[in-house]
Structure 1
Amino acid sequence: MDSMELERQRGITIQSAATYTIWKEHNINIIDTPGHVDFTVEVERALRVLDGAVLVLCAVGGVQSQTLTVNRQMKRYNVPCLGFINKLDRLGANPERVLKQMRSKMKHNAAFLHLPIGLEKECQGILDLVEERAVYFDGDYGEIMRFDEVPQNNRAEVKERRHELIEQLSNVDETLGEMFLEEKTPTVAEIKQAIRRSTLQRLFTPILLGTALKNKGVQPLLNAVLDYLPHPGEVENTAILGERKGSEGETIVLDPSRDGSKPFVGLAFKLELSKFGQLTYLRCYQGILKRGDNIFNARTGRKVKISRLVRMHSNNMEEVNEVLAGDIFALFGVDCASGDTFVNDVKLQLSMESIHVPDPVVSMAIKPKNNKDRDNFSKAVARFTKEDPTFHFRYDSDNKETVASGMGELHLEIYAQRMEREYNCPVELGKPKVAFRETMMSPCTFDYLHKKQSGGAGQYARVTGIMEPLPPDQNTMLEFVDETIGTNVPKQFIPGVEKGFIDTCQKGYLSGHKISGVKFRLQDGAHHIVDSSELAFFLAAKGAVKEVFEDGAWQILEPIMFVEVTIPEEFHGTVLGQLNKRGGIVTGTEGLEGWTTLYAEVPLNNMFGYAGDLRSMTQGKGEFSMEYSRYSPCLPDVQEQLIRKHQEEMGLLPDQKKKKN
């Protein structure tokens, strides 16, 4: 389903693509998502609107670092999944090892529903453990399923693994557990029902096998989607009925019935400028939407008339007259943001849970190579930042340069190439810069008075309280707490204090990076009946943060990446030494048939250029992947370098001050 030229050239998925298929008179909506961690937001928004997932794993590569990221995303949205171990025909295929990794690394209660009939070149078909039969795939495209008895030499293994499957299910399904204790043999229907119940509750992960390239195992996978994953009527989707998201509104359950008895509710989850024009992808959660209807953006109140309704098949589209609850579709020319809720009644103030967007971890200076391309550059930036909420763009006034931020080097390189291909605007990228953070080391009190009188209305605001560090697992967050009692700080001015705190934290005083992992506890203050305003309290909060910076103890945090390196075992020592040189801590190793996999945690700042070094060290045979793990305090010498660099940029060093004089 990769339709972009860059995707075909690089052999990776960059953008998610939606399609649907009819299987056994059931309509299955499918979204194909990227596997690379740099494009994680594509997975994030797909999981937000889907009811079930198929986690595709390579029979050779197994569970990789980005697999763990997807696993966390499925958990966040409570999406049940099937596992499909693909590429059984590849040299080195080992589905048994992949199953063990799913259990140990991903903590899944997983078991095979299939066993392979041969691996690599000998891959002939699969053994169905539930039905106790062999399945072969005949025809030019594997389209003809042929069933046969289990081969004699596989019968003992099938019996053993089927018993293991029932035992795994018995641990999580009460009905099957009782039968297991009573030593009753469950029927095929009872096993399937137990698999379905356990999968829907995310207590069990069924594992299927196949090779998509040769179309072996695909039909059983589609059968499993119908048998074990939920249909829209089985998933409880809710919305908040209230003035706005975040206010205390009533939570209501949306009706998934495919009729027009309830008003339409839909969620926009993706924006894309395609060859057809501006497309907005939505999922219909309730009611029916027909061509010619009017809908309203619940956030802005803006009305949209539906002139065209389409369903997408990758980069092709199909015109439809109506969509019903559970359908994924697209509209043309809708001005909105990802995560906006749409309704067909302007009075229906509903908002659904939006999409989790991770913060960028890498920044690069970016500029067009030719000044004449600035208009195209601006158009490209406006489009890409609207489509991708993890792609950020800002002007750095200190260094007089434009800066692009994203989820990794590849993420930013892809956008640079797209600017050249799609907008005829070649760009230059600077060296990657890491998104460091500043945080407190210990609590510090503040008592700050902002007072300004220069004729006319003055400004008066006093704030007192405590700023303190948040726990390490929350060190990328900011928290504001109003602990005031009485009216010393009038309630209408509290938002001004919060805005002042958050605004000041956008640029720290230590190294110029964002402040995070801090809680601002407003405990008391004072106001003037005439001179106090929200602006005055906004400025008082900013002054309080600066006061705490001067009085408190601060440190710089850096992003730590979980790195997985797979290499021929003869290069083990060289690669291990290089990881140590880059400040990495090796957390584990695995060896298999002449190959070694190293697992390490390495500061992102030390990982730039690693791909080239790894190729050189391993004669082009090594490969690696990495994903964000956490923020952690950086080493003292790194902190000192960052502080000095910031002081140089700001002209704060003593020798620089003398030169200015």
Structure 2
Amino acid sequence: MARITPLNRYRNIGIMAHIDAGKTTTTERILYYTGRSHKIGEVHDGAATMDWMEQEQERGITITSAATTCFWKEHRINIIDTPGHVDFTIEVERSLRVLDGAVAVFDAVAGVEPQSETVWRQADKYKVPRMCFVNKMDRTGANFARCVEMIKKRLGAKPLVTQLPVGAESDFKGVIDLIRMQAIIWKDESLGAEFEHVAIPDDLKDEAEAARLELIETVVEQDEAAMEAYLEGNEPDEATVKKLIRRGTCGLQFVPVLCGSAFKNKGVQPMLDAVVDYLPSPVDVPPVEGVDVNDTEKKVKRESSDEAPFSALAFKIMSDPFVGSLTFVRVYSGILQSGEQVQNTVKGKKEKIGRMLLMHANSREDIKEARAGDIVALCGLKETTTGDTLAAINKPVILERMEFPDPVIEVAVEPRTKADQEKMGTALHRLAQEDPSFRVSTDHESGQTIIKG
């Protein structure tokens, strides 16, 4: 079976944010506009597609990062939904490890919040190119300029403003696209599915001109020829500007900043365009580095290509009510087919690949093969835990073992009745498999079961 979407049209992205910045709503809208979700799910009525564990739907927060595939303008976007609560930092680290790019969502009222800083630093650590979406522009107290200033001061980032808001709070109507120098106004009656490009309102022209000047002066620094042409009075055209923004974003020189209101369906389509235009594909990021199985001092690179030997990283294990244990893997190189055997190089054991699923937030599609760049779920792997590498048996490699924090709390637990001892043991073992920062042991002196995390 040939590759359906070329690798340079893949975008493996995460949506990261502080709790309540509107991350799940933003993801929901992305799924809605890319046609994967028929009814818009609202977080506050417990219907959001990405929050698929019952606990999440009750509390309206995202606990486990589900992986979802959707399509936009002939590009395949794999979205990993990362948790925003500080308690789940390990999940965020793990998700960032397998991403090529990220969208950071900020609350236009609160600006940069503590957890946003934590996640931002983690993304710095893994050198993840990213862009920002200033959400909730329709809320009372929304302030775009202040938010941009906080991105600069608190995160130490270099924001590249590519849009300005038209109106704010209850008068928020749309955005000014500083690249095309047009305003995009959403139609409320179509639930935000329809919008029109209009001339920039007179009262915003001066502000837009000044912001565009700053945008152009920043992007031409990415290319000497463009810089020289600009100094001679020739402004770069739209295609060149986009190319330079892409180069600077992928090179971690700056972060494009967009704005909107996901809840009011304004600003989501241009954000999807920006994901496609500016964030890297698996081909744009350096090849993944691992170590030789027999000599951990020896570095091994795996190119992001179907021709390279197969390698993948297991970044999440979940128990699913219908298919049992699901192992989410990011395929870095080569092709994986269902039915074949691969090596778990960390455990030194072979695994047979059974069912392979492409996940949509809560529905799934059976597939027969996965290729470089794909993020898929494998059913029924016996030995693999989070952070393990799966590789071709004849070309084994260990892709960097993830480091997990030491436990900060430990408690003894016991079942209510003796009969439940085995059930409790099984459940705790499953939890430890899903979350390597959770540990279970038995105190030999007292016979108690100790859990740490």
> Shorter-normalised TM-score: what interval?
0.7 to 0.9
* CA deviation after TM superposition for structure 1 residue 26, in Å: 0.9
Letter in 2 for 1:375: E
Deviation at 1:262, TM superposition (A): 2.9
Residue 179 of structure 1, CA deviation: 4.4
**Residue identity matched to 2:55:** L
1:263 corresponding residue in structure 2? 309
Aligned residue in 2 for 1:595: none
Shift of 1:278: 0.5
Residues 234 and 171 (structure 1 numbering): CA distance in 2 closer, same or farther, change over 3 Å?
A: closer
Separation in 2, partners of 1:357, 1:181: 50
Gaps of 5+ in 1: 407-661
Task: Describe the SS at the equivalent of 1:373.
Answer: helix
Question: What amino acid is aligned across from residue 224 of structure 1 in structure 2?
Answer: A
Distance 1:181 1:219, change over 3 A: same
Q: 1:452-485, CA deviations, whole angstroms, 9 ceiling, x for partnerless residues?
A: xxxxxxxxxxxxxxxxxxxxxxxxxxxxxxxxxx
Structure 1 stretch displaced more, 182-191 or 192-201: 182-191
SS of 2:137's partner is coil
How many Å apart are 1:130 and its aligned residue? Answer: 1.0
Q: Which residue in 1 is equivalent to 2:385?
A: 337
CA drift at 1:87: 1.1
What are the superposed Cα offsets for residues 421-474 of structure 1, whole Å, 9 maximum, x if unpaired? xxxxxxxxxxxxxxxxxxxxxxxxxxxxxxxxxxxxxxxxxxxxxxxxxxxxxx
Runs of at least 5 residues in structure 2 that lack an aligned partner in the other structure: 1-49
2:94 pairs, out of 45, 52, 60, with 45
Letter in 1 for 2:325: Q
**CA distance in 2: counterparts of 1:176 and 1:404, whole angstroms:** 59
Asked whether the equivalents of residues 126 and 209 of structure 1 are also in contact (C-alpha less than 8 Å), the reply is yes
For 1:624, the equivalent position in structure 2 comes to none
Shift of 1:28: 0.7
Identity between Structure 1 and Structure 2 (%): 42
C-alpha change, 1:90 and 1:79, in structure 2 (3 Å) is same
Q: Which has the higher strand share?
A: 1
| 1:307 CA drift (Å) | 2.5
CA distance in 1, matches of 2:285, 2:337: 24
Q: String of CA shifts for 1:203-259, please: whole Å, max 9, x gaps.
A: 100001111112211111111011101111111223435234x7221432x2323x4
- After TM superposition, list the pairs within 5 Å mapping 1:404-443 onto structure 2: 404-406=451-453
Q: 2:433 aligned with 1:386, yes or no? A: yes
Q: Name the CA distance, whole Å, in 2 between partners of 1:176 and 1:78.
A: 26
Q: Deviations over 1:278-335 (max 9, x none)?
A: 0011111111122222222122342222231111112321111221110000111112
Paired amino acid for 1:95: F
2:255 matched to 1:237?
no
Pick from 320, 329, 345 the counterpart of residue 274 of structure 1: 320
Which structure 2 residues correspond to residues 486-505 of structure 1 after superposition, within 5 A? none
Q: Which SS does the other structure have where 1:163 is aligned?
A: helix
1:300 is aligned to 347
Offset from partner CA, 1:601-621 (integer Å, 9 cap, x none)? xxxxxxxxxxxxxxxxxxxxx
Distance 2:229 2:405 in 1: 45
1:46, distance to aligned residue in structure 2 (A):
1.1
Contact kept in structure 2, 1:364 and 1:404, CA below 8 Å: yes
Counterpart check, 1:318 vs 2:365: yes
Q: Which amino acid aligns with 1:28?
A: I
Give the equivalent residue in structure 2 for 1:76: 125
In the alignment, the residues of structure 2 paired with residue 177 and residue 367 of structure 1 have an alpha-carbon distance, to the nearest angstrom, of: 68
Q: Give 1:589-600 correspondences, 5 Å limit.
A: none
Shift of 1:65: 1.2
Distance change in 2, residues 1:116/1:242 (3 Å):
same
Shift in CA distance, 105/374, structure 1 to aligned 2, threshold 3 Å: same
State the number of aligned residues: 401
Who is 1:13 aligned against?
Answer: 62
- Aligned pair in 2 of structure 1 residues 137, 321: CA closer, same or farther (>3 Å)? farther
Q: C-alpha distance in 1, partners of 2:221/2:315?
A: 37
1:403 deviation in Å?
A: 4.0
1:575 aligned residue: none
Alignment of 1:515-534 (within 5 A): none
Q: Residues 165 and 359 of structure 1: is their aligned pair in 2 closer, same or farther, counting only changes over 3 Å? A: farther
Q: Is the 8 A contact 1:364 1:403 kept in 2?
A: yes
Q: Please list, as runs of the form range in 1=range in 2, the aligned pairs for 1:445-594 lying within 5 A after superposition.
A: none
Q: Deviations over 1:547-603 (max 9, x none)?
A: xxxxxxxxxxxxxxxxxxxxxxxxxxxxxxxxxxxxxxxxxxxxxxxxxxxxxxxxx
Q: Which amino acid aligns with 2:144?
A: P
In structure 2, which of residues 140, 143, 158 is the aligned counterpart of residue 94 of structure 1?
143
Amino acid at match of 1:115: L
Cα distance in 1 between the residues matched to 2:195 and 2:374: 29
**CA distance 1:357–1:300, change in 2 (3 Å):** closer
- Aligned pair in 2 of structure 1 residues 277, 175: CA closer, same or farther (>3 Å)? farther
State whether structure 2 residue 247 is matched by structure 1 residue 197. Answer: yes
TM superposition shift of 1:365: 4.3
Contact persistence 1:241–1:349 (CA under 8 A): no
Alignment CA distance shift 1:368-1:58 (3 Å): farther
Counterpart position of 2:165: 116
Q: Which amino acid aligns with 1:290?
A: Q
Inter-CA distance 115–209: structure 2 relative to 1 (3 Å threshold): same
Q: SS where residue 267 of structure 1 aligns?
A: strand
Could you say which residue in structure 2 is the equivalent of 1:227? Answer: 277
The letter of the residue matching 2:239 is A
Q: Is the 8 A contact 1:256 1:286 kept in 2?
A: yes
Provide the C-alpha distance between the structure 1 equivalents of 2:287 and 2:429, rounded to a whole number of angstroms: 32
Q: Deviations over 1:124-150 (max 9, x none)?
A: 111111110011223533122311111
Give, in whole Å, the separation in 1 of the partners of 2:290 and 2:53: 37
Deviations 1:146-199 (A, max 9, x none): 111111111111111111222333556545544454443222222212111110
Partners of 1:398 and 1:172 in 2: how far apart?
A: 65
For 1:389, give the aligned amino acid: P
Q: Partner letter of residue 274 of structure 1? A: D
After superposition, the C-alpha distances for 1:484-528 in whole angstroms (9 at most, x for unaligned) are: xxxxxxxxxxxxxxxxxxxxxxxxxxxxxxxxxxxxxxxxxxxxx
Contact 1:109 1:168 in 2 (8 A): no
Task: Answer yes or no: is the 8 Å Cα contact 2:107–2:134 preserved in 1.
Answer: yes
Structure 1 CA distance for aligned equivalents of residues 167 and 438 of structure 2? 45
1:61 aligns with 2:110: yes
Verify the 8 A CA contact 1:199 1:228 in the aligned structure 2: yes
1:149 aligns with 2:199: yes
AA in 2 matched with 1:294: Q
Change (3 A) 1:60 1:402: farther
CA contact (8 A) 1:176 1:194 kept: no
Q: Which has the higher contact order (CA 8 A, sep 6+)?
A: 2
User: Is 1:134 aligned to residue 180 of structure 2?
Assistant: no
Give 3-state SS (helix, strand or coil) of 1:385's partner: helix
